[in-house]
């Protein structure tokens, strides 16, 4: 496939960045991931709005909306992609030497690629997650490429044969290492509020919208780890996993370990919405 780097379309082997790129040296950059279904980007404007917010938050110069929109279209067209995941990354560019603060005007490095994504219409098997203390920083609302904390937490989850860590701060569940969590208790859906402790997932936002359309009661309130054993249903959301039922947290089985009825409804509504 072809990737985009700083104005050029290249085969990946030809796409090179400087060793002095601030993404490489400092993880000084942000990224965005946009799903593509049937050759069309899904909820693209929400992703682009989040990209603008991430860039603004760390004061990297941005491009007009139309630039990103045409990059989305070109990535899909040039790679003849039906179902895939677009990856955008913007760093604060390269200079001639390493220094924490840029010494002159900044020319951001812009990289974009697309990779195939298997589109499934079935209900995924309920998966296992593991509870972890959220060891990340306090600006999780920025989609930073600095993902060391997320990776360490994912490594731990993998060791425990779990698909994701479930992160908590002082007992309140925040999110996953690359996903957002939703819990169901007595017919009410709970998910952590949109603040600096979570990435405001676009799939999260869309599931909240679908729940509202289905007249399912939702509260954007964090649930507590002391309530986990009493939950009726649990699922996580992300651009790559869509809506993924969770049947187990460590040794705790959620409900009867099967996909719950509200989760099932939302999975069906989600599949319907991406037609
Ligand atoms: N991850 N929380 C975190 C920390 C994430 O990294 C992600 C996405 C989400 C879900 O956001 P969305 O629904 O917009 O995908 C929540 C992407 C997919 C990734 O890192 O590849």
Contact 165, 129 (CB under 8 A): yes
- pLDDT, one tens digit per residue, over 176-201 is 999 999 999 999 999 999 999 999 99
Mean of per-residue pLDDT scores for the chain: 97
Contact 35, 41 (CB under 8 A): yes
Angle CA 265–235–247, to nearest 5: 105
- What's the CATH class of domain 127-273? alpha beta
* Ligand 1 mutation target, pool 239, 242, 243, most atoms within 8 A of CB: 239
Closest C-alpha to ligand 1, atom 12: 201
Closest C-alpha to ligand 1, atom 4: 178
**Which H helix or E strand runs over 156?**
helix 148-159
Evaluate the CA torsion angle 249, 158, 191, 261 in order and state its sign: negative
Catalytic option among 97, 143, 154, 274? 143
Q: How much is the pLDDT for 275? A: 86
pLDDT band at 118 (very low <50, low <70, confident <90, very high): confident
Report the CATH fold assignment for 3-116.
D-amino Acid Aminotransferase; Chain A, domain 1 (3.30.470)
Q: How much is the pLDDT for 121? A: 85
* Ligand 1 mutation target, pool 35, 154, 165, 179, most atoms within 8 A of CB: 179
Cα of 104 vs centre of ligand 1, distance in Å, is 32
**pLDDT for residue 259 is more than 80:** yes
Q: How much is the pLDDT for 73? A: 98
Ligand 1 site, CB within 6 A: 33, 175, 178-180, 199, 201-204, 237-240
Cα of 178 vs centre of ligand 1, distance in Å, is 4
Contact 74, 66 (CB under 8 A): no
Q: Where in the chain is the domain with CATH 3.20.10.10?
A: 127-273
Average pLDDT over residues 255-265: 97
Cα of 141 vs centre of ligand 1, distance in Å, is 10
215 is catalytic: no
- pLDDT, one tens digit per residue, over 232-252 is 999 999 999 999 999 999 999
Q: How many CB atoms lie within 10 A of CB 188?
A: 14
Collect all residues with Cβ–Cβ distance below 8 Å to 135 and sequence separation of at least 6: 149, 152, 153
Cα of 191 vs centre of ligand 1, distance in Å, is 15
Is the interface score ipTM higher than 0.95? yes
Query: What residues pair up with 32 in beta bridges, in sequence order?
Result: 88
Of 275, 274, 273, give the one whose Cα is nearest residue 213.
273
Q: How far apart are CA 254 and CA 250, in angstroms?
A: 10
Q: Where in the chain is the domain with CATH 3.30.470.10?
A: 3-116
pTM: 0.97
Q: How much is the pLDDT for 120? A: 76
């Amino acid at each position: 496939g072809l990737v985009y780097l700083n104005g050029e379309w290249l085969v990946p082997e030809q796409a090179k960045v400087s060793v002095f790129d601030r993404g490489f040296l400092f993880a000084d950059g942000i990224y965005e991931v946009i799903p593509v279904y049937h050759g069309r980007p899904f909820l693209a404007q929400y992703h682009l709005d989040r990209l603008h917010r991430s860039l603004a938050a760390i004061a990297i110069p941005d491009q007009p909306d139309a630039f990103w929109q045409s990059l989305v279209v070109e990535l899909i067209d040039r790679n003849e992609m039906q179902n895939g995941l677009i990856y955008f990354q913007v760093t604060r560019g390269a200079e001639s030497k390493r220094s924490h603060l840029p010494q002159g005007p900044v020319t951001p490095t812009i990289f974009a690629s697309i990779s195939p994504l298997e589109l499934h219409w079935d209900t995924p098997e309920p998966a296992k997650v593991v509870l972890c203390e959220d060891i990340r920083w306090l600006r999780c609302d920025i989609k930073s490429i600095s993902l060391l904390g997320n990776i360490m937490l994912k490594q731990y989850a993998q060791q425990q044969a779990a698909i994701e860590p479930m992160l908590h701060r002082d007992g309140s569940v925040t999110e996953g290492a690359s996903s957002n969590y939703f819990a169901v208790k007595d017919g009410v859906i709970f998910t952590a509020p949109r603040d600096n402790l979570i990435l405001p997932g676009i799939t999260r936002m869309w599931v909240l919208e679908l729940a509202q359309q289905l007249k399912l009661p939702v509260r954007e309130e964090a649930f507590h780890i002391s309530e986990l054993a009493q939950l009726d249903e649990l699922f996580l959301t992300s651009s790559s996993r869509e809506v993924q039922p969770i049947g187990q947290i460590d040794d705790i089985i959620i409900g009867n370990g099967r996909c719950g009825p509200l989760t099932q409804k939302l999975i069906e509504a989600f599949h319907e919405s991406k037609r």
